[in-house]
A = this chain, B = another copy of it.
Amino acid sequence: MEKKKKFILPENEIPRQWYNVAAEMINKPQPYINPGTKGPLKAEDFYGLFSEELSRQEVNETDTWIDIPEEVREQYKLYRSTPLVRAYGLEKALDTPAHIYFKNESVSPVGSHKLNTALPQAYYNKIEGVTNLTTETGAGQWGTALSFACKVFGLELAVYMVKISYEQKPYRRSMMQTWGAQVIPSPSMSTKSGRKILTENPQYQGSLGTAISEAIELATQTSNCKYALGSVLNHVSLHQTVIGLEAEKQMEMAEEYPDIVIGCFGGGSNFSGISFPFLRHNIKGDKKTRFIAAEPSSCPKLTRGKFRYDFGDQAGFTPLIPMYTLGSNFTPSNIHAGGLRYHGAGSLVSQLLKDGYIEGMAIDQIESFEAGVMFAQSEGIIPAPESNHAIAATIKEALKAREEGVAKTILFNLSGHGLVDMASYDKFLSGDLVNYTLTEETISKSRDTE
């Protein structure tokens, strides 16, 4: 018998439904709150900003399974099912008895898992008569995914890209433009909030907070135009469960079940996507899998944050979200894993962390790149700086398994490749990367001030 390296589901087994963990959670997440009225929010309260179906998904706590529209599933076939891969090379490099598997979401044409939610978001907006979407992007992963999804379903897209990224990451900008999106460096003169900032400070290099403000402003002031977000929210995590649902069937093909499931953690969507379908068996009491969310130690909302109501953005435009947070004014260090630079965790993950279903693990920047290079050299794929955090956590657990002499089965999500992030590897290889240490005092300033 040949050793199998990859486990691939046939196309007709790509999931037909997403898994909605909120319907099965014993303690439901606390509701979003309107900061003005202090009242809880209902689906209708989101209609101004998001498509109606996405708004309903956002607050749905009753339906365990939600149908994937056939048109979306057709587009998933461009790259799904994604391979489940046994990392024999990495196991050998670590000399570990652990069985390491990874779900390879880097095979999507945009290079990451973000397309899993970009496609349904574009689709629902399209069928509800929306013609234009707006969004913001920092490093560019989300912007590229939504650009392609909008092209597929015939929507116009305007992406506000943080100005310093616009200038320093021209490749991701070109990708968005190749797929037909309009990319605007933020702050821009196209919105009131952008003009205000530029008038006061013409040299301002932009921030995600400003880009969000501009995208929301444009959406609310344009007819048939809505806004789209690539992480944090419940409907985004819902769409990402296609990752874990496939992985569950693929682990069956491998005749194993994970003892540990690992994902990197920014706003929570890729971690939720790989975890929730396995976590439901923990909720039911059938399994005792550990779920590890690997966050940068420079942005440690899970391991050092506080569970409370907080805004999702710096400017305070969003509803109040029940979350583990470092405070919405927390400014993360300038690490290369741009997708993990977010102050809080989505409401589902926050509740599950509070209830002991999942664990946070903090990873230093240099450790994350050491892990990424080891993976690249043993498995070929150069991972995204974000995914390197999941790999570093996997390596820790695999080495622990070696110490303990147990053949643990570990599954992690390779959320994306790093081919458009090689500048960060360059810095690592030339010894120019640093770790960022946060004192308790620094964190408490933003975290403990409501």
Contacts and interface: CB of A to CB of B under 8 A. Distances in A.
Interface of A: 2-6, 8, 11-12, 74, 77-79, 107-111, 148, 151, 170-171, 174-175, 177-180, 373, 376-377, 379-382, 419-420, 422-423, 425-426, 429
Instruction: Name which of A111, A170, A177 has the most chain B CB atoms within 10 A of its CB.
Output: A177
Nearest to A151: B377
28 contacts: A2-B11, A8-B8, A78-B380, A79-B380, A109-B380, A109-B382, A148-B380, A151-B377, A170-B423, A170-B426, A171-B420, A171-B423, A174-B422, A174-B426, A175-B422, A175-B425, A177-B425, A177-B426, A177-B429, A178-B377, A178-B382, A178-B422, A178-B429, A179-B376, A179-B377, A180-B377, A420-B420, A420-B422
Which are the 10 A-B pairs with shortest beta-carbon distances?
A109-B380, A5-B77, A174-B422, A171-B422, A174-B426, A109-B381, A78-B380, A419-B419, A174-B425, A151-B377
Instruction: Name which of A8, A108, A151 has the most chain B CB atoms within 10 A of its CB.
Output: A8
Contact of A419 (B2, B420, B426): B420
Nearest to A377: B151
- Chain copies in the assembled complex: 2
Nearest to A76: B5
Contacts of A151: 377
B78 A419 contact: no
Given A109-B380, A380-B78, A171 B419 contact: yes
Contacts of A108: 380
Contacts of A180: 377
Contacts of A377: 151, 178-180
A373 B422 contact: no
A428 to B, nearest CB: 9
Contacts of A109: 379-382
A2 B10 CA distance: 12
Nearest to A115: B380
Nearest to A111: B419
Contact of A174 (B2, B177, B423): B423
A426 B178 CA distance: 8
Nearest to A419: B419
Contacts of A426: 170, 174, 177
B11 A178 contact: no
A178 B171 CA distance: 19
Contacts of A8: 8
Contacts of A110: 380
Given A171-B419, A425-B174, A429-B178, A6 B2 contact: no
Contacts of A107: 107
B382 A175 contact: yes
A329 to B, nearest CB: 35
Contacts of A376: 178-179
Contacts of A6: 11, 77
Contact of A5 (B5, B11, B373, B423): B11
Contacts of A78: 5, 379-380
Nearest to A169: B422
A426 B177 CA distance: 8
Given A151-B377, A175-B419, 5 more contacts: A3-B74, A111-B419, A174-B422, A177-B429, A178-B373
